[in-house]
Amino acid sequence: LTQNVDLLGLLKWRTNTSLLQQNLCQLMKVDGGEVVKFLQDTLDALFNIMMENSDSDTFDTLVFDALVFIIGLIADRKFQHFNPVLETYIRKHFSATLAYTKLTKVLKNYVDNAEKLTEQLLKAMKALEYIFKFIVRSRVLFNQLYENKGEADFMESLRNLFTSFNDMMSSNSENTGMVKGAALKYIPTIVNDVKLVFDPKELSKLFTEFILKVPQGRLVKQKLDCLIDIVHSDLFTHHDCREILLPLMTDQLKFHLEKREEPKACCQLLSDILEVLYRKDVGPSQRHVQIIMEQLLRTINRTVISMGRDSPHIGSFVACMTAILRQMDDYHYTHLISTFGKIRSDVVDFLMETFIMFKDLIGKNVYPSDWIIMNMMQNKVFLRAISQYASVLNKKFLDQTNFELQLWNNYFHLAVAFLTQESLQLETFSSDKRAKLFHKYQDMRRQIGFEIRDMWYNLGPHKIKFIPEMVGPILEMTLVPEIELRRATIHIFFDMMQCEFHFTCSFQRFENEIITKLDHEVEGGRGDEQYKVLFQKILLEQCRKHMYLAKTGENFVTLVVRLLERLLDYRTIMHDENKENRMSCTVNVLNFYKEIDREEMYIRYLYKLCDLHRECDNYTEAAYTLLLHAKLLKWSDEQCAAHPTQRDGYQAATQGQLKDQLYQEIINYFDKGKMWEEAIILSKELAEQYENEMFDFEQLSASLRKQAQFYENIVKVIRPKPDYFAVGYYGMGFPSFLRNKMFIYRGKEYERREDLEARLLTQFPNAEMMKTTTPPSEDTKHSSGQYIQGFIVKPILNLPTKFQNKPVSEQIISFYTVNEVHKFQYSRPVRKGEKDPDNEFANMWIERTTYTTAYKLPGILRWFEVKSVSMEEISPLENAMETMQLTNEKISSMVQRHLSDPNLPINPLSMLLNGIVDPAVMGGFANYEKAFFNDKYMQEHPEDLEKIEKLKDLIAWQIPHLAEGVRIHGEKVTEALRPFHDRLEACFKQLREKVEKQYGVRTLPSALDRRGSRPPSIVRSFTMPSSQRPLSVASVTSISSDNSPSRPGSDGFNLEPLLPKKLHTKSQDKLDRDEPEKERKEKKKEKRNSKHQEIFDKELKMTEITMQPAEAVILSETISPLRPQRPKSQVLNQTGVDRRLSVSPGPSSTNSSTSSLGPPPIAPRNKSSLSLHTGSNLELNGMGCSDKGEVPPPLPVKGSTSDYGNLLDHQDLTTPSTPPPPPPHQRHIPPPLPSKTPPPPPPKTTRKQTSIDSGIVQ
């Protein structure tokens, strides 16, 4: 036995009954460990005391307290493992049959005196579960002995006990707050035991009364927790009990939800109720689901609508709502609508709320995307609900009087949102997951899609009310990649066309809307080739069957299909790293929108294109792109449309303001792109507005200052000239916007053909570069591969009218040689007949192809598609005339430059003149004389007599130009070059005598007449009497670009910054008052000029040439273009045998025109070296000679085999077209001449072996 005196005294209470009361009191002071050790003995002692004093209540309260103490001990965590011992005792060892009466009586007494006995009652409440276990077990044992004797008394005692509880709950005493909370917490624990000896229905009623007695606004959470515990009890699984309890619970939930009290507990209670109702072992539940639906569905809907998506309870409430809908059957849906009675507006409000809520939940799913089963379950429930509500629309809101437009509209938007939601797009899942989902849930998109189609057709005459608003949603639905769904729903479009046509005799609104929405949908990733084919097939079939829509409908379908093609191309390359492809597709789309007059969409894509250009630093193209938008605007106060320009920071209320801001930005871009001519045009327009419309003189001042700077830039700043390339994409392997098309590309600064080819092969790594320039065969075009053809073409000058036949500075004209061009030429030599070594020019024709682009370059792209190609053949005689014309223009251009600016270095002029007048260097025009100026040719070609005379005239006109050049050369020549000049004059004298004797004398106007009183920077043009066109500087400039359209700054002496120059004519000298200042300026100019001459002179000294008559002066300086330096393999040793500028100042000869005018060259020439003359007519757009007017040509091969032997009929494009640029410190030095291995030196023979006349330059 225990050694504890107090516990031992209780266990042996019979030995001394007088100490019983003391022993009972002392028990509650005994250590808990001792008590639980002798738990059964202790309990036996307590109940024996109670039973043996049944006639007296002396010890009842003490025994009750002792029992509560023991139960409390076991409830303690320290002794909770004795719980099974207590349970076992009650079930097997407890035998006090009358204990229930005494326990009930004491407990009721405590409850009745709650305000006084708060502490004791609180302890009793915590032990309430086990107290009732003893009460129930005692009553069961009593019934077994006495066969339900005293049943009524027992029932009444329990009713009285609950009444006491209810009275306590309804009291306003502040002292009982804790006890009330404890009652709510612990009373549900007695349910499962009490219902064994008490009527469950009556017990349910007692609980209902108990809950209703809880004061309003107090103990809300405890009350809801109490109800949750009741739901978890066995009582709630009884159908009859639920009939009593459920209305109480739904009322409580509705009340607290509407007041937004304790949402978590409310949600938990509802969730537990629905979980019980879903069970199959709880009896019929249809009625109970109906109660919940009637009382709570709308309340839950509103709670979900009002609850933020960031609420921690939103998922639980949506789950509850889904559970309610899941348990509703057809009867419930019908009954739900009937509950609104005949009040139509209530039904409309309910459906509107539901549609909005569903759409919101679908668009912003409350569950993570990887909760696939939860999302699919929700969708399945929503789909059924949407279908049920759709039938309500058809029944109640379809006829003319009851039609609800907004309700139907919400339905359609909800249904489409449901269909297009991400979680239903099965094709985005793996094949295994897709198969499982399809097996369990089917493809819900098809079901809702068919329903949308049926609902649309049900609308009847109301359809017109949904056009064009419903076009977008229906389009979105048809774009879902489910073939059966597409086949079923694309027909709706034709129905819309018919419907609008019936009311308005057109379907313009429908067409506009579908075009607008299609753009957004395809850009968003929807649509594919299959959709395009299906759309075209279905709608064309429908339209062709219709009497009135056959033609217009077919046009519409074609239009949409064309748009789809462009949009699909655009989307395909939208995320491509290659921005050029993106630009092409963007232009395709914006051009389409311009064609169909969709201004808003057109402008939208203009800004997309502009963004791409800005990313690539294509400022010129960005300017032209923005200019297209600016041209749509007026200089007016009209309201500015809501174009997508706000994102670019334009803050403009009127069109005029927006146009002003756009012009400012465009001018800035033109300035960055060095397109100052274009910037000036816009600046003038702006200045006109500032001066005469806005009267904003401050802005006018700024604009005029900018204009002045632009004019100065045109004259003084060197602008690199871009190359132009023809690029063809052949083969079916290319995207549709490139496939089997040719484009003209405007090269970037200093970009060579090799650079372009490398760039193209980077874009299309599987492509093959074609080796020839001939058009590809049909087999190539239809092959599955990718073939790219690229070669340089020459832009054809399109000189503005205002400059024609006027003396204009070359700096001004040069801009137009590579800008504002849309025609380009490519020439290649074609020999007809066998080659005649003695008359090679007679059968050398030129095949010239002209490519015309869709738009001028530069423009909104750096390339444009070739829209037309024409080819012509130039006869040998015409070629000779053209070459002589270009040669004369080149001489004239050089002369004019030196007249305009005496400070120009003399080197280029030296080389140009030497190349023409020295017969040792150039074969002269004897080639033409030999080929055309003979009786045989004239007899065979009598139709060419007039052209022969023109050629002779051109030869004659070359002399006065050369004379002017030699004169200027003599004025500027240095002492170091005096022997060279003397040789030049001697050669020219011989040439002049020969030409004037044979072709007559021509005379240019005097220098003063030519220059007049114009500033020295202005270059006069000369018109030759028998030439076909005036030789203006524009023409001369075109010669420069002829040789190398993109060689920027090929004049080596122009690479230094051009400083402002002031030339002093006699009239200006009179105005110069400050003579010392003038002298100082002249010295500066001389010093500057001498810098250019220094290297040239130094080179002469280094060669240590003694100026003896029989030896040549070597001009070793060449002029460097701003080009990448040539590879070493192409560089000739400047001290080698292939000197281009060899001059032999030997004695003159008086031979006839067919004989040599001087000794032969001192070194052999390359086969690849063509004369200036022949290089021009054989120049293959960058694959021949690429020198500018001031750069001397390569020397010809002196044998008759040297003419065109290196040029094939099908030009090989594998050789580099231009050399790489030299390092900055070498840019004033001419580039080394390209060379192949030189052939053996030709024998020194007579003039007959030379093939190229000295009058022919390139």
Give per-residue pLDDT as tens, 72-109: 988 888 888 888 999 899 989 888 888 888 899 999 99
Reply yes or no on whether the pLDDT at 1071 is more than 60: no
Closest of 466, 462, 428 to residue 445, by C-alpha:
428
Rg (CA), the chain: 52
Give per-residue pLDDT as tens, 872-931: 999 988 988 988 998 898 898 888 888 877 888 889 899 888 888 875 544 567 778 888
Reported confidence tier of residue 642, pLDDT bands at 50, 70, 90: low
One-letter amino acid for residue 951 of the chain: L
Integer Cα distance of 854 and 744 in angstroms? 10
Task: Say if CB 554 and CB 537 are below 8 A apart.
Answer: no
Lowest pLDDT segment from 16-20, 287-291, 540-544, 676-680: 16-20
Q: Please, what's the b/e burial string for 173-190 (b: 16 or more CB within 10 A of its CB; e: otherwise)?
A: eeebeebbbbbbbbbbeb
947: left (phi over 0), alpha (psi -120 to 50) or beta: alpha
Beta bridge partners of 745: 725, 863
Burial class for 964, CB neighbours closer than 10 Å (0-12, 13-18, 19+): buried
Domain spans of the chain? 614-716
Integer Cα distance of 38 and 31 in angstroms? 12
For residue 707, give the DSSP letter.
H
Give per-residue pLDDT as tens, 457-488: 999 999 999 999 999 999 999 999 999 999 99
pLDDT at residue 849, as a whole number? 94
Burial class for 507, CB neighbours closer than 10 Å (0-12, 13-18, 19+): buried
Reported confidence tier of residue 838, pLDDT bands at 50, 70, 90: low
Lowest pLDDT segment from 8-22, 1023-1037, 1084-1098: 1023-1037
Residue that is written with structure tokens 């985005």 in the block? 428
34 vs 1165, more confident = 34
Any idea how long the chain is? 1258
HSE-up of 1042 (CA within 13 Å, CB side)? Answer: 25
Give per-residue pLDDT as tens, 547-605: 899 999 999 999 999 999 999 988 888 877 778 888 988 998 999 999 998 898 999 99
**Quick one: what percent of the chain has pLDDT higher than 70?**
78
Average pLDDT, the chain: 79
Q: Where are the beta strands (DSSP E) in 1158-1207?
A: none
Give per-residue pLDDT as tens, 586-601: 998 999 999 998 898 9
Task: Say if CB 810 and CB 897 are below 8 A apart.
Answer: yes
Integer Cα distance of 235 and 904 in angstroms? 113
Mean pLDDT of 771-787: 91
Task: Say if CB 953 and CB 983 are below 8 A apart.
Answer: no
Beta bridge partners of 844: 831
Closest of 1059, 1069, 1046, 1251 to residue 1160, by C-alpha:
1251
Closest of 896, 906, 924, 1052 to residue 980, by C-alpha:
906
Rounded (10°) CA dihedral 759, 765, 768, 771: 20
Task: Say if CB 517 and CB 472 are below 8 A apart.
Answer: yes
- Alpha helix segments (H runs only) across 1013-1074: 1033-1043, 1066-1071
Integer Cα distance of 1047 and 1122 in angstroms? 7
In terms of average pLDDT, the best of 157-166, 1147-1156, 1221-1230 is 157-166
Integer Cα distance of 981 and 914 in angstroms? 9
Q: What angle do CA 1194, 1040, 963 make, to 5 degrees?
A: 75
Task: Say if CB 770 and CB 787 are below 8 A apart.
Answer: yes
Closest of 1041, 1127, 1176, 1175 to residue 723, by C-alpha:
1041
Reported confidence tier of residue 957, pLDDT bands at 50, 70, 90: very high
Query: Residues 605, 609, 610, 611: is their CA dihedral positive or negative?
Result: positive
For residue 293, give the DSSP letter.
I
HSE-up of 747 (CA within 13 Å, CB side)? Answer: 32
Q: CA–CA distance from 130 to each of 64, 114, 185 (Å)? A: 12, 20, 14
Integer Cα distance of 416 and 452 in angstroms? 8
pLDDT at residue 60, as a whole number? 85
150: left (phi over 0), alpha (psi -120 to 50) or beta: left
| Secondary structure of residue 222 in the 3-state scheme | helix
pLDDT at residue 27, as a whole number? 82
Two tokens at 168?
């306590």
Beta bridge partners of 639: 654
805: left (phi over 0), alpha (psi -120 to 50) or beta: left
Q: What angle do CA 1016, 1092, 896 make, to 5 degrees?
A: 25
**Quick one: what percent of the chain has pLDDT higher than 90?**
48
Reply yes or no on whether the pLDDT at 145 is more than 70: yes
pLDDT at residue 22, as a whole number? 83
Closest of 646, 652, 550 to residue 604, by C-alpha:
646
Closest of 1235, 1167, 1219 to residue 1044, by C-alpha:
1219
Written in H, E and C, the secondary structure of 142-171 is HHHHHCCCCHHHHHHHHHHHHHHHHHHHHC
pLDDT at residue 1237, as a whole number? 38
Give per-residue pLDDT as tens, 707-723: 999 999 999 888 889 99
Reply yes or no on whether the pLDDT at 1239 is more than 70: no
Burial class for 34, CB neighbours closer than 10 Å (0-12, 13-18, 19+): middle
Give per-residue pLDDT as tens, 353-393: 999 999 999 988 899 988 999 999 999 999 999 999 999 99
CATH superfamily of 614-716: DOCK DHR2 domain, lobe A (1.25.40.410)
